[in-house]
Structure 1
Amino acid sequence: MKYNNDFLKKKISFINNISIFFLILAGGFCKGQSLTVGGSNWTVSIPSITEAGSNYAGSYESAANQILLAASVPLLLGSAKVSVHYIANPTWNSSLGLNIKRTGNGTTVCLLCTITGGITYQALTITDVELFRIAAVLALASYSNIPIQLQLTGVSVTVPAAAYGSRVVFTIGSL
């Protein structure tokens, strides 16, 4: 039996061209999620104690938009979660607590996309905790200026006087 090599070559070439087209098309939609962190450092202003028997307020809050996040989730991923943890920088006292919450949705042009969770304070730890989720529905979910607020707790005269610092680390990942 004799095969027509020209027909077979054209068929393979056509299949290769279609495959390349779909790879290019899919590549345009398969960009990974991204997260950008903005805002400024928060330095807590703790008033001096001037009277015997007094104590500090105990907890202090940053501005409601101390940290501003921008996040993108492609349609093909469907949804993503934003997680957060802290790193002592350079020292931290275990009596102090650092809490975090999302105070708004930020801005988006995606009508069917949603951002959920993270609207009440939750404790930051040295391991990741989920802060909120973003769902992409029929479009790229792109949010900017998502406001984040911090809270410092446990401030007391029993905590040794020192300069304590920490760094807050955000990550975005697929569900």
Structure 2
Amino acid sequence: MMYLQKFITKNIFIVILIVFSQLQSQRTLTVGGTNWTVTIPSITEAGDNYAGTYESSTSQIILAASVPLLLTNGKVSMHYTANPVWNSNLILSAKRTGDGTTTCVACSISGGTTYTIIPPTADIELFRITAVLALASYSNIPVQLQLSGVSVTLPAAGYNSQIVFTISDL
């Protein structure tokens, strides 16, 4: 009887470890919002230049993210890709303008409250979410975009890019 009890306890512990390892990999990220079209005023005087820096609304992009329970983290990162044409003198940046909403009391969201330059192709961290004793689930996390480097020296064209957000462990 004692052997059977140890066997059952050991198997329950193994099942708990398997379930826990599956929860570790279940980070999710949903991206919403609208496309941002920068309105750049016309130059009316010879020798004038553009303002150079433009900002979107404070909630241009809305993120929802969840991180599994028990002392885990989620790192939300970003990069951009040309879609199809981009000028490397134009600089895209993003910042988190709020915490969003959550029901998790012991969870936290940190970083990303100042503009971070978005690189092409290689991810850079925007912010982190930490789950302590429960599933850290955040919705309505607002993100603002900034475009700088606009100048009369850039070739006239329509420039487009796509920002890619990812979530991973630390």
Asked if TM exceeds 0.5, the reply is yes
Which structure has the bigger radius of gyration? 1
3-state secondary structure, aligned to 1:146: strand
Q: How many residues align?
A: 167
Corresponding residue of 2:4: 11
For the 8 Å contact 2:77–2:125, the answer to whether it is kept is yes
Per-residue CA deviations over 1:134-154 (Å, capped at 9, x if unaligned) read 000111100000000100000
SS at match of 2:4: helix
**Corresponding residue for residue 166 of structure 2:** 171
Q: Identity, % of aligned pairs?
A: 62
Q: Which runs of 4+ in 1 moved over 4 A?
A: none
Matched, 1:23 2:12: no
Unaligned residue ranges in structure 1 (runs of 5+): 1-6
Partners of 2:115 and 2:44 lie apart in 1 by 31
Show structure 2 runs of 5+ residues with no match: none
* Counterpart residue type for residue 135 of structure 2: L
Matched, 1:96 2:90: yes
Counterpart CA distance in 1 for 2:74 and 2:93 is 22
In the other structure, the counterpart of 1:150 is: 145
Could you say if the C-alpha distance between residues 168 and 35 of structure 1 is closer, same or farther in structure 2, counting changes exceeding 3 Å? same
* Cα distance in structure 1, aligned partners of 2:68 and 2:21: 7
2:78 is paired with a residue of what secondary structure?
Answer: strand
Question: What is the deviation of 1:15?
Answer: 3.2
Q: Distance in 1 between matches of 2:136 and 2:51?
A: 40
Q: Deviations over 1:130-171 (max 9, x none)?
A: 100100011110000000010000001001110101100001
| 1:3 alignment counterpart | none
Q: After the TM superposition, which residues 53-64 of structure 1 pair with which residues of structure 2 at under 5 Å, given as runs?
A: 53-64=47-58
RMSD: 2.3
* Letter aligned with residue 15 of structure 1: F
1:35 pairs with 2:35:
no
| TM-score normalised by L of structure 2 | 0.89
1:18 offset after TM fit, Å?
6.5
Is the CA contact (8 Å cut-off) linking 2:70 and 2:132 kept in structure 1? Answer: no
Match of 2:132 in 1: 137
Q: In 2, are the aligned partners of 1:99 and 1:124 still within 8 Å (CA)?
A: yes
| SS in structure 2 at match of 1:158 | coil
2:71 touches 2:132 (CA, 8 Å); kept in 1? no
Alignment partners' CA distance in 2, 1:18 and 1:26: 13
Secondary structure class of the residue paired with 1:27: helix
CA distance, structure 2, for counterparts of residue 67 and residue 77 of structure 1? 28
Answer yes or no: is the 8 Å Cα contact 1:38–1:67 preserved in 2. yes
